[in-house]
Structure formats: C-alpha cells, structure tokens
C-alpha cells in the first residue's frame, strides 16, 4: 500500500490540501480554465471523466500549482496511482469510430473509381 492509498487516494488527498489552504474549486477553475466538473472528477479519483493522456497530467499540474503544492510531485503521485489512464488517452467514442470507418470506406471506393475514370479518359 502506497502513501497515497493510506491517505485515502490521490484525489481526496488533494482535496484535503485544497480545503486546508482555503482555495475553492471555482478559484482553481477560473485560474486554470479547467471546468469545475473536471476538477471534481479529479478529487474523486474518477479518472474516466478526465480527458486522459498528457491532458490529465496537465490538469493535475495546474491544480497542484493553484493550491500551492509541488506540481511535479503531484504528477508523479498521479502517474504512480493511475499509470495506464495517465499515459494513454481515452479511446474515441463509438460514434467517432463509426464516422472514421465510413470515411475510410468511402475513400476506398471513391479513389479507385476516380482513378478508373481518369484512366478511361486518358486511354
């Protein structure tokens, strides 16, 4: 069990520090331009609601700076607690994947068709 686990998790620990220093989520949101809902997700260790990848680490860094804590230490703690989620961006939603698939199919049909038409006019 890590020190972060003993303290009740990464997000709850950050929330305690924020509250002890008298900083509101609204203050952090205005300063960092990160939505209050995203900051709440961070404090609840609800990683699924964070953007993922480098963006999550940037949010952790900005949050930590806003509460006067060590940003690099906070990012290290976050990555050690959530190694996969903090490195990999979330997968695209299903509807986005469907759009890309349709575009690929259309391109796969149209490109050969256009090439065939151009070739038929040149020959």
Over range 32-37, report the average pLDDT: 94
Residues in Cβ contact with 120 at an 8 Å cutoff, skipping those fewer than 6 apart = none
Q: What are 89's strand-pairing partners?
A: 52
> pLDDT digit string (tens) for 5-23?
445 799 999 999 999 999 9
Distance (Å, rounded) from C-alpha 114 to C-alpha 111? 5
Domain definitions of the chain by residue range: 3-87, 91-123
CATH superfamily of 3-87: lambda repressor-like DNA-binding domains (1.10.260.40)
pLDDT at residue 68 in the model: 95
| Structural contact between residues 10 and 4, judged by C-beta atoms closer than 8 angstroms | yes
Q: State in Å, rounded, how far the first CA of the chain is from the last one.
A: 73
Q: Tokens standing for 123?
A: 């020959």
pLDDT at residue 85 in the model: 54
> pLDDT digit string (tens) for 48-79?
888 877 889 999 999 999 999 999 999 999 98
């Amino acid at each position: 069990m890590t020190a972060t686990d003993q303290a009740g998790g990464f997000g709850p620990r950050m929330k305690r520090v924020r509250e002890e220093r008298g900083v509101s989520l609204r203050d952090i949101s205005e300063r960092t331009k990160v939505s209050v809902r995203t900051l709440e997700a961070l404090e609840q260790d609800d990683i699924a609601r964070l953007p993922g990848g480098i963006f999550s680490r940037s949010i952790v860094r900005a949050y930590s700076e806003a509460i006067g804590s060590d940003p690099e230490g906070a990012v290290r703690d976050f990555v050690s607690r959530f190694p996969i989620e903090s490195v990999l961006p979330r997968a695209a939603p299903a509807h986005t994947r469907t759009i890309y698939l349709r575009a690929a199919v259309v391109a796969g049909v149209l490109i050969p068709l256009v090439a065939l038409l151009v070739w038929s006019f040149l020959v």
